[in-house]
Amino acid sequence: MSEALLDIAGLRVTFAGGTAAVRGTAIAVNRGETHCLVGESGCGKSVSALAVMNLLARGASRSADRLRFAGEDLLSLSDTGMARLRGNRMAMIFQEPMTSLNPAYTVGSQMTEVHRRHKGSSRQVATDRAAEMLARVGITAPGMRLGQFPHQLSGGLRQRVMIAMALMCDPELLIADEPTTALDVTVQAQILRLLAGLQRDLGLAVLLITHDLGIVARVADRVSVMYAGEVVESARTNDLFARPQHPYTRGLLDCVPVPGKIRPGEPLGSIPGVVPRVRAGFQGCGFRDRCAFAMPECAAEVPRHAAGEAHDYLCRLAADWSGLRGAA
């Protein structure tokens, strides 16, 4: 199999206060594929993405066994080399659109700046490209929108502008961090359709961060489930929904209403407790305080098991796990 476009192994991020936000994460995103990263709030999704882009907060330390993009080693890349890739060959849509769009500048000046910096284009070429990209993401009267400020746009339009801006330089990889969380469901569906269409038409690889399994079911080719700074399960989407292995993945899926599986009035599942804030030096399974199957061995290093082709999970439970399912 050819090398993944984005190949992450053993990624670790620790903050100055001692929080081990990411603890050995591995994710591989293939060209032309949508890979969803899911998990509850605080499990390390955004920090993983920011670590890839080398945009972590001051005081954070990042290390990895492997961090490669298109065959290039990101760990040995200089700041200038990284700045050349960022926004150009790999682009990111941030979790908060209002914090990444500068309120003091028009949409047009922010979009053209990206293109002029990376492609060395003239003002006119960059403006034409910006108008083309706004039209491409379904914004009518793009010429007028280019002259507007972010606060003059609705939430849905702002999100489309963010996507258009990210695609200005025709990137190979788009990282989209919760791109629809702040939107109502109809706009959310439009943005997801738009992303799926762009991904197909442009052959983009997309790493889509979300906590919404409904979104995952609709758009993902592959899913990685994160918990307490680790990817605890990774599989093709159909396989993950059909044969979840990790108790946390099962818990997440039990929280989703599935027509036909849940009877009217029947309560949905929930996972008691919250994601722990893990400190550097923490050992063992991060889920053990919430897991119905926890055993003393779970406090020691946890093995990773294969559960079929391109499906693996991080848990003490192995072959005997399916026999325990009825007890969950």
Ligand X SMILES: Nc1ncnc2c1ncn2[C@@H]1O[C@H](COP(=O)(O)OP(=O)(O)OP(=O)(O)O)[C@@H](O)[C@H]1O
CA distance 142 to 197: 19
Of the candidate spans 41-49, 127-135, 242-250, 303-311, the one that interacts with ligand X by CB under 6 A turns out to be 41-49
- Candidate segments 17-25, 83-91, 105-113, 148-156, binder of ligand X by CB under 6 A: 17-25
- CA distance linking residue 112 with residue 264, whole number of Å: 52
* Touching ligand X, residues 267-306 (CB under 6 A): 277
Comparing CA positions, the residue from 172, 224, 180 lying closest to residue 198 is: 172
Question: Binding to ligand X by residue 43, rule CB under 6 A?
Answer: yes
Binding to ligand X, residues 188-227 (CB under 6 A): 211
**Residue 179 in contact with ligand X, rule: CB under 6 A:** no
**Residue 318 Cβ, how far from ligand SF4 at the closest point, in Å?**
10
Is 131 or 317 the residue whose CB approaches ligand SF4 more closely?
A: 317
Q: Is 247:290 a contact under the CB 8 Å cutoff?
A: no
DSSP-H helix ranges across the chain: 45-52, 79-85, 97-100, 107-119, 123-136, 142-146, 155-166, 185-202, 213-219, 237-242, 247-254, 321-324
Which phi and psi angles does 233 have, rounded to 5°?
-155, 145
Sheet-wide strand order for 230-236 = 90-93, 173-177, 205-210, 34-38, 222-227, 230-236, 312-314, 304-306
Residue among 95 and 188 whose Cβ is closer to ligand X = 95
Options 247, 249, 278, 307; binder of ligand SF4; rule CB under 6 A:
247
> Which CB, 22 or 126, lies closer to ligand X?
22
3-state secondary structure of 184: coil
Q: Which of 271, 302, 305, 311 binds ligand SF4 (CB under 6 A)?
A: 302
User: Residue 88, interface with Mg ion (CB under 5 A)?
Assistant: no
Among 285, 305, 307, 311, binds ligand SF4 (CB under 6 A): 285
Binding status of residue 305 toward ligand SF4 by CB under 6 A = no
Q: Where does this chain touch Mg ion (CB under 5 A) — which range of 39-47, 127-135, 199-207, 290-298?
A: 39-47
Distance between CA atoms of residues 128 and 139, nearest Å: 14
Task: Spell out the residues 6+ positions from residue 38 whose beta carbon is closer than 8 angstroms to its own.
Answer: 45, 209, 210, 211, 212, 213, 216, 223, 224, 225, 226, 252
**Candidates 19-27, 118-126, 145-153, 288-296; binding stretch for ligand SF4 (CB under 6 A):** 288-296
Q: Residue 207's closest CA among 78, 66, 30?
A: 30
Q: Could you tell me the two tokens for 148?
A: 């507007």
Establish if 46 lies at the interface with Mg ion (CB under 5 A). yes
**Does residue 46 touch ligand X according to CB under 6 A?**
yes
Q: Is 327 helix (H, G, I), strand (E, B) or coil?
A: helix
Query: Min. distance of Cβ 167 from ligand X in angstroms?
Result: 23
- Total interface residues for ligand X by CB under 6 A: 16
Strand partners, 21: none
**Residue ranges in contact with ligand X by CB under 6 A:** 15, 17, 19, 21, 39, 41-47, 57, 95, 211, 277
**Residue ranges in contact with Mg ion by CB under 5 A:** 46
**Residue ranges in contact with ligand SF4 by CB under 6 A:** 246-247, 285, 287-288, 291, 293-294, 298, 302, 315-317
